[in-house]
Amino acid sequence: MILVVKVLNSSVVLVEEEGIEKIVLGKGIGFGKKPGDTIDDERVDKIFLEKNIKLAYITDLAKEVPFQFFKITKEIITLAENSLNRKLNNNIYLTLTDHIYFAVERVKQGLFIPNKLYWEIKNYYPQEFNIAKQAIELLNARYNLTFPEEEASNIAFHLINAQTTTTQNLNTFQYAKMINSVVNLVKYSVGVPIDTSSIHYTRFITHIKFFVERFYANNQLQEDNNDLYEQISSLYPYAMHIAEKVKQYIDQTYHSSISDDEVVYLGIHINRLIRNTK
């Protein structure tokens, strides 16, 4: 049973359920309600634990943003979760609603703010970018607008952030820029054109993304297997030379070293890339 504790506005209510205080959103769910009343859970669109959200923020957002934007955001999040096969951080329901509302208002006024990470997001996060493109098509149809494709990178940005599993929010700008820097360094060092549409390149990008995630999460591969390092260096000297250049770049740029195990696996992936480029 959901009991009303305090009505924040007609669409946002502080409630108690099984002894736990929560914030619930739903069109008109607070209308005519008073403390002690019950709310039909079928009318609730979203639930937040009170400790995870600021009351003032969600109340102000619900006052300023028409509820239709919360509904379309929910559609987009459902699409994303089904496509990615994972649950997204609950806060995206608020942050993406806020973004979409102001994005629609900007487009109506003929304004567009470019995303500096458009290229990186489109190329390194193709799944999130394609989901975001579907979201843009939905917004265009729903509001009779024409969003530029670049807007998809802004929505994808929110989808990427909402997948963060670390306790500390990852700065997606730094994340994508590091991926881009490492990939460009490897491309430049290989010295021959790389087929960016090949499965080998896709696997390489996937490895770099996980490598950067481990780097920021302070969770690097650390098996201390010196024999493997020597073996891979002997088998793939050119690839390991490039991997060592990446290590040196990270040392100098981020003032943080990467483990020999990370260098080894980076070298293995670089070798696969080189082998299938020739």
Using H for helix, E for strand and C for coil, what is the string for 208-270?
Answer: HHHHHHHHHCCCCCCCCCHHHHHHHHHHCHHHHHHHHHHHHHHHHHHCCCCCHHHHHHHHHHH
Q: Are residues 15 and 46 in the same domain?
A: yes
Q: Are residues 270 and 192 in the same domain?
A: yes
Confidence at residue 100, expressed as pLDDT on a 0 to 100 scale = 95
Q: Residue 61 falls within a domain, yes or no?
A: no
Confidence at residue 181, expressed as pLDDT on a 0 to 100 scale = 93
Confidence at residue 50, expressed as pLDDT on a 0 to 100 scale = 55
With beta carbons less than 8 A apart as the criterion, state whether 236 and 202 touch: no
Task: Indicate whether this model's pTM tops 0.75.
Answer: no
Q: Residue 270's domain spans which residues?
A: 172-275
Q: Are residues 211 and 253 in the same domain?
A: yes
Confidence at residue 272, expressed as pLDDT on a 0 to 100 scale = 86
Confidence at residue 170, expressed as pLDDT on a 0 to 100 scale = 53
Q: Residue 166 falls within a domain, yes or no?
A: no
Confidence at residue 10, expressed as pLDDT on a 0 to 100 scale = 81
Q: Are residues 93 and 31 in the same domain?
A: no
Q: Distance (Å, rounded) from C-alpha 202 to C-alpha 196? A: 7
Give the domain-ending residue among 132, 161, 190: 161
Confidence at residue 278, expressed as pLDDT on a 0 to 100 scale = 59
Q: Are residues 180 and 154 in the same domain?
A: no
Query: Each residue's pLDDT tens digit in the chain (278 positions)?
Result: 788 888 888 888 888 887 787 788 888 888 888 888 888 888 887 666 655 566 677 777 888 888 899 889 999 999 999 999 999 988 888 889 989 998 999 899 887 777 777 888 898 899 999 999 999 999 999 999 999 999 999 999 899 888 865 444 556 778 888 999 999 999 999 988 888 877 778 888 888 988 998 898 787 877 666 788 898 899 999 999 999 999 999 999 999 999 998 999 899 889 988 887 75
> What's the pLDDT tens digit per position in 10-49?
888 888 887 787 788 888 888 888 888 888 888 887 666 6
With beta carbons less than 8 A apart as the criterion, state whether 50 and 21 touch: yes
- Tally of domains within the chain: 3
With beta carbons less than 8 A apart as the criterion, state whether 116 and 154 touch: no
Q: Residue 62 falls within a domain, yes or no?
A: no
With beta carbons less than 8 A apart as the criterion, state whether 134 and 94 touch: no
